[in-house]
């Protein structure tokens, strides 16, 4: 079974007490006072900047090359600033959840603590729990996914299995229930598919979604009707085993 640690890291944010831009200005000043940090502000043409990047000096024992911390503003989000860490050392294999959160608290929390002390506030990191990061499907999409999984030969997909997967794509597109590559890959590996088919199925899902976006609504309705008829016929025939023939 796939380990969620291998797939998802939390999106961490801070609810600010001033405007997001003013918060970045203050954090930049504090980082410069803190010392040992290369502070870089990514300016826009109007002299404001949408993110603040910090390059940390790390201990050799950490085995981290170029550890960057970033505080950034998201469009239309007037209440929060988002933060993350990146490192050149994670190019091939990223950190586990616990390691990543630990590094955020180790390198970024002292700067936030200085902010709280200076401005008499109590700003905190909002860190999603590990369990909350697991991708979730709606009840109907989950049934369609499970039907595909139950009747698929996971080492050699037949045309029937591909049609079951197309049914899932069509439903998800119709309900605007998009699964990103990492989320679908996690579900497929958890269901027992190998790397080869995980890559193919994830790519097909993305391309199928894009194709449906391009179809006129009249053709899309006709295609959905045809697919539903095929699926009902297959379900009425009820395969004699859980594997493709």
CB within 8 A of 108, min separation 6: which ones?
69, 83, 85, 125
170: tokens are 């069509």
CA distance 187 to 220: 27
CA distance 219 to 49: 45
pLDDT in tens, 31-50: 998 888 888 877 554 556 67
Place of tokens 């539903």: 228
Residue 81 backbone phi and psi in degrees, to 5 = -115, 140
**81: three-class secondary structure by DSSP:** strand
pLDDT in tens, 1-26: 446 666 688 999 999 999 998 999 99
pLDDT in tens, 169-200: 989 988 888 888 888 999 999 899 999 999 99
Which strands sit side by side in the sheet containing 12-15, from one edge to the other?
37-42, 51-56, 67-72, 80-87, 12-15, 125-126
pTM of the model: 0.66
Q: What is the DSSP letter of 216?
A: -
Length of the chain: 245
């Amino acid at each position: 079974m796939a380990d969620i640690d291998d797939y998802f890291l939390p999106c961490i944010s801070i609810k600010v007490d001033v405007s997001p831009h003013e918060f970045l200005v203050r954090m930049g000043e504090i980082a410069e006072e803190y010392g040992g940090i290369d502070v870089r502000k990514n300016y826009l043409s109007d002299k404001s900047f949408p993110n603040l990047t910090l390059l940390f000096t790390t201990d050799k024992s950490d085995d981290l090359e170029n550890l960057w911390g970033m505080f950034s503003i998201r469009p239309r989000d007037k209440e929060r600033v988002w933060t993350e860490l990146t490192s050149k050392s994670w190019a091939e294999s990223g950190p586990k959840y616990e390691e990543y959160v630990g590094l955020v608290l180790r390198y970024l929390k002292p700067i936030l603590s200085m902010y709280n002390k200076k401005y008499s506030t109590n700003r905190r990191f909002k860190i999603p729990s590990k369990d909350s990061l697991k991708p979730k499907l709606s009840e109907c999409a989950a049934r369609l996914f499970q039907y595909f999984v139950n009747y698929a030969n996971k080492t050699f997909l037949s045309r029937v299995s591909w049609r079951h997967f197309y049914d899932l794509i069509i439903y998800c597109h119709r309900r605007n229930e998009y699964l990103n590559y990492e989320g679908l890959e996690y579900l497929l590996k958890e269901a027992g598919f190998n790397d080869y088919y995980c890559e193919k199925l994830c790519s097909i899902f993305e391309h199928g979604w894009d194709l449906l976006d391009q179809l006129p609504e009249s053709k899309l309705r006709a295609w959905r009707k045809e697919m539903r008829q095929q699926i009902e016929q297959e379900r009425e025939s009820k395969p004699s085993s859980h594997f493709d023939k």
